Amino acid sequence: MKLQQLRYLTEIVRRNLNVSAAAARLFTSQPGVSKQIRLLEQELGVELFERRGKQFVGLTAAGRAVLAQAEEILARADNIRRVTQDFAAPQQGAFGIATTHTQAGFVLPPVLSTFHRRYPQVRLNLLQGTPLQLADMAEQEDVDLLVTTDQASLYPRLVLLPVASWRYAVFCPVGHPLTQRAPLTLSAIAEYPLVTYSFAFDGHSALENCFSDAGLNPRLALTAVDTSVLKRYVREGLGVGLMAAAAFDAATDTDLVALEAGTLLPHGRVHVALAPGRFLRGYVYDFIALLAPHLTRDVVDEARALRDPQAIAALIATTAPAAMI
């Protein structure tokens, strides 16, 4: 039995039993993956997958049991590599961060700039996606942590540490009629088509509930995952933008206004999400502390040991309040 065979097994399951997708993710061929699975089954003396012809359609009972052990073995092997790398070359390595487009473009740049000056020999790999896509990325070996917003239910296997609050602002062109409405109201906002995040009106979001609770049904002009794209379409006149206030750049957004929404629109929370059993390199702890000074190494380790969200919230409350982004 080889570790690579166990990787093939876990990746096939991660890719919804799509062997071709698993092979592409592992940079190998589909026939090679299929052959190694057959060899593993022959060695173990059981079938791991239920089949319909040559297609995998599910895991057998034995396959489910083996998968659980394989995930644990691979996690331990990965930790051994991380531990030895931290001793052999603490200032070198790779650091994978999966995050949303807004965090990548508007919150993380100064943090990563400082980090890079401290660790110039650490190669940064920044992956971007929606919160749902980040949940899938969290399983990748080359992703050390997530920096994500809200929707904690998407990450049941991860430890979520609150970093800061974030709030919506209403983006519109300079001179837009909304800039003359004081005080700003939900009904005034709903008079105009909205340009906002893809996940903001997904049937159960806090933002959608905010309007529906007020008896309003605003028209969506455009949704996207990238805040820079959203701002472009606000400039083009498709509608007013509901975006993270942190995305407003006074130096470059001179043709836009970001109207404070106050308590009209829901506030959210930025989290660092970590796999509970994964060994963290020293520079990962340093990055977390740069992003959120209240998340010291001791606090991070204690929170990962606690696992329970309420216990973690109580712990964080004793260290420092999360700053508003």
**Whether residue 183 has pLDDT greater than 50:** yes
Once rounded to an integer, what is the mean pLDDT over residues 192-213?
87
pTM of the model: 0.83
User: What is the architecture, at CATH level 2, of domain 90-325?
Assistant: 3-Layer(aba) Sandwich (3.40)
3-state DSSP helix/strand/coil percent for the chain, to nearest 5? 45, 20, 30
Q: Strands 323-324, 159-173: parallel, antiparallel or unpaired by DSSP?
A: parallel
pLDDT: which is higher, 307 or 215 = 215
pLDDT: which is higher, 190 or 319 = 190
Q: 108-129 pLDDT, tens per residue? A: 999 999 999 999 999 999 999 8
- Same CATH topology for 3-86 and 90-325? no
Poorest-pLDDT segment among 61-65, 71-75, 116-120, 153-157: 153-157
Once rounded to an integer, what is the mean pLDDT over residues 198-225?
88
**Whether residue 177 has pLDDT greater than 90:** yes
pLDDT at 153: 80
pLDDT at 325: 54
Q: 232-270 pLDDT, tens per residue? A: 999 999 999 999 999 999 999 999 999 999 889 988 889
What is the spatial distance between Cα 225 and Cα 184, in angstroms, rounded to a whole number? 26
Share of the chain above pLDDT 70, in %: 97
What is the spatial distance between Cα 62 and Cα 44, in angstroms, rounded to a whole number? 10
Q: Which two tokens stand for residue 35?
A: 């052959």
CA distances from 322 to 16, 74, 266, 271, 286 (A): 37, 35, 16, 10, 17
The per-residue b/e assignment along 16-46, b for 16 or more CB within 10 angstroms, e otherwise, is: ebbbeebbeebebeeeebbebbeebbeeeee
Answer positive or negative: Cα dihedral of 83, 88, 91, 92: negative
Task: Please give the CATH number for the structural domain made up of 3-86.
Answer: 1.10.10.10
Domain-wise residue ranges, the chain: 3-86, 90-325
- Residue 254 DSSP one-character state: T
Confidence label for 321 from pLDDT (cuts 50, 70 and 90): low
What is the spatial distance between Cα 100 and Cα 325, in angstroms, rounded to a whole number? 15
Dmax over CA atoms of the chain, in Å, equals 74
What is the spatial distance between Cα 220 and Cα 192, in angstroms, rounded to a whole number? 9
Share of the chain above pLDDT 90, in %: 70
What is the spatial distance between Cα 293 and Cα 223, in angstroms, rounded to a whole number? 33
What is the spatial distance between Cα 168 and Cα 140, in angstroms, rounded to a whole number? 31
**Beta carbons within 10 angstroms of residue 130's beta carbon:** 17
